[in-house]
Amino acid sequence: MTTSERRFVLGVDQGTSATKAILMDAAGEIVARASAPLSSRHPGPGLVEQDGEELWRGVLEAVAGCLAQAPPGWSSPWA
């Protein structure tokens, strides 16, 4: 099976310290992974704040880094 015939799933995990992305094939093999660190603020005891724009940039960065490592010949069905 050629790379262009393989099916892939892109997963995104939004954590409190990083956004992680993985690209897996249909057999569950991880073929690429990337992450983007995130910051958080602690304005008071027991309080944590994160910036929504930074979260979104983290998703974009992690996904772009993951897709940049995709196997040769891979293409998005949405491209």
**Nearest partner of 69 among 38, 31, 42, judged by Cα:** 31
Residue 76 pLDDT class (50, 70, 90 cuts)? low
Query: Tens of pLDDT along 15-65?
Result: 989 999 999 988 889 999 999 999 999 999 999 899 999 999 999 999 999
> Which residues contact residue 14 at a Cβ distance below 8 angstroms, ignoring those fewer than 6 apart?
55, 58, 59
Q: Do residues 68 and 29 touch, judged by C-beta distance below 8 A?
A: no
* pLDDT value, residue 70: 87
Helix and strand counts by DSSP (H, E) for the chain: 1, 3
